Amino acid sequence: MKKPAFNPYLPSWEYIPDGEPYVFNGRVYVYGSHDFWNGYVFCMGDYVCWSAPVDDLGNWRYEGVIYPRNEDPMNKDGKMCLYAPDVTVGPDGRYYLYYVLDKTCVISVAVCDTPAGKYEFLGYVHYKDGTRLGERPGDEPQFDPGVLTEGDITYLYGGFCPRGDKSRTGSKVVTLDKDMMTIIHEPTGIIPGSCYSKGTEFEGHAFFEASSIRKVGEKYYFIYSSEVMHELCYAVSDDPLGGFKYGGVLVSNTDLHIDTYKPADMPMCSGANNHGSIVQINNDWYIFYHRHTNNTWYSRQGCAEKLTLTADGRFPQAEMTSCGLNGGALEGRGEYPAYLACNLFTPEHHLYLGEHNLPKIVQDGRDGDEEVGYISTITDGTTAGFKYFDCKGVKRFGIYTRAYCDGKFELRLKWDGDVLAEFPVKNTNVWEPCFRDVAIPDGVHAIYLTYKGAGSPQLKSFVLE
């Protein structure tokens, strides 16, 4: 029996952002950095890996720690963090892991015989004279490596361009020899940062970070996080070393620009940085990205959405959902946890997170505790949205809530739709159910729950019967 696939696609107590997905030997493997629940900085954990069968994308398996932070000779005391990595299969059939430690300017390389075994430190990307990339005069500090191997050549991309920093020009590419570390093609700029994008097709969506590279047919697709941070964009070229043309936005972790179910300029959750890439699984394309929890930048979770590849090679922007890898809407029957909310907003619709008292996905316990997530800091006017459910014969709906409040939740099928039912909630320190008879029309629907009242309830789950 295949499991339904949710967003986030991993358990709610796992925090793996910056996901780079690949299909190896009939399984999807996701490589990313490793945040902690309630973390205070980015990427506090060792590299771990998760994988799933290509025909059962809700059934994820924990592969364990594949590379501890103190494996790198520069980090034997473990005081530096492992930033976003990428993996490629070398000419020798082995798996090569590229990464940057948070207080260095060079790219480290590790290697393994299998996709998710124990990677062992190999060395640093360097020029032919032994100088490490990032340390030669004129080099820009290395960040977020993205890699693609074709034959004996590996293309390595990277860069970090915060707004206003003219010392950072954009994403650059080098090529590596078959030893996977020696540079044979000098750094070449391919996408401009914001300081150098004026008058180009990248203006407004200039390169910020999160370099990633994929080949689709005979063309090269460069995926990156733009200057606005919450969106992943792409550019396309016939040549991996240059000539990239701006393609558009693949996904935003605020759903900005999407106009199918709300105004295009209305964010449906509060976002921040973004990182991910595309992958073809069977005959379908997906974009992997991350969302933020706990109203901070530091506890991020991986999500994925299905993409459509048009005949002319474009990927229209994907809408954020609760069912991204499911192959369609979730069954409109049973209990669903509140952490699946893909829309979470107040009446002000904040674009970026961090504002005081914004609603947030949280969990009980410490990092690593297998505690199911829920929504907290719900205040008057807060709305949680869940998309999508294939409803058939639904006659009853319920919610589970707790905390001190005096108000009601309103059920809608659109964020601005008619109220179908109301669920009164009042002071309690345990999870309490509230059910109402309500006929939801047959068909595929979103579920929106809006709180009206005093206090700050918490939402654990909802039930369709």
3-state DSSP assignment of residue 9: coil
- Percentages of the chain per state (helix, strand, coil), in multiples of 5: 5, 45, 50
Residue 209 annotated in active site: yes
Q: Which two tokens stand for residue 329?
A: 């809407």
190 C-beta neighbours (distance < 10 Å), count: 24
Please state, in angstroms and rounded to a whole number, the distance separating the CA atoms of residues 293 and 369.
16
Q: What are phi and psi of 220, to 5 degrees?
A: -105, 130
Which H or E run includes 108? Answer: strand 108-112
Catalytic residue among 14, 18, 71, 86: 18
How many angstroms separate the Cα of 174 from the Cα of each of 107, 166, 237, 241? 12, 21, 16, 8
Find out whether 238 and 252 touch, Cβ atoms under 8 Å: no
Q: Cα–Cα–Cα angle for 268, 212, 39, nearest 5°? A: 55
Within 13 Å, how many C-alpha atoms sit on residue 118's CB side? Answer: 3
Catalytic residue among 14, 144, 209, 231: 209
Find out whether 117 and 65 touch, Cβ atoms under 8 Å: no
Residue 380 annotated in active site: no
Catalytic residues: 18, 209
